[in-house]
Amino acid sequence: MVPFFVQIKCHLGKSYEVANKLADAEIASEIYSTAGDFDLLVKFYVEAGTDIGHFVNERVQTIPGIQDTRTIITFKAFS
């Protein structure tokens, strides 16, 4: 499995609605509320070889209430 993160900026007043829709879709591993330029930080796992760009475009950005996203691809976990 390949992990990556997506920062999500929601339309005003839609953060909880978007977070609930992500949880209901069962596509996110972890969902955090954040302060700053983005409202949510979401961790996803996809199968190796999955096109992350297509995944974000088709499964995440189509959720109503999302205004903008920033995808963060990770390379290595340190312990």
Our count of domains for the chain comes to 1
Sign of dihedral through CA atoms 31, 33, 34, 36? Answer: positive
Instruction: Provide the domain limits for residue 31.
Output: 2-73
In a domain, 78, yes or no: no
* Whole-structure pTM value: 0.93
In a domain, 61, yes or no: yes
pLDDT at 78: 87
Write the pLDDT tens digit of every residue in 13-56: 999 999 999 999 999 999 999 999 999 999 999 999 999 999 99
Q: Exposed (0-12), middle (13-18) or buried (19+): which is 19, by Cβ within 10 Å?
A: buried
Mean predicted confidence (pLDDT) in 65-72: 98
Mean predicted confidence (pLDDT) in 42-71: 98
In a domain, 56, yes or no: yes
In a domain, 79, yes or no: no
| Contact of 73 with 46, CB cutoff 8 Å | no
pLDDT at 56: 98
Pairing of strands 66-73, 30-33: unpaired
Supply angle C-alpha 30, 18, 57, rounded to 5.
80
pLDDT at 75: 86
- Looking up residue 38, the CATH number of its domain turns out to be 3.30.70.920
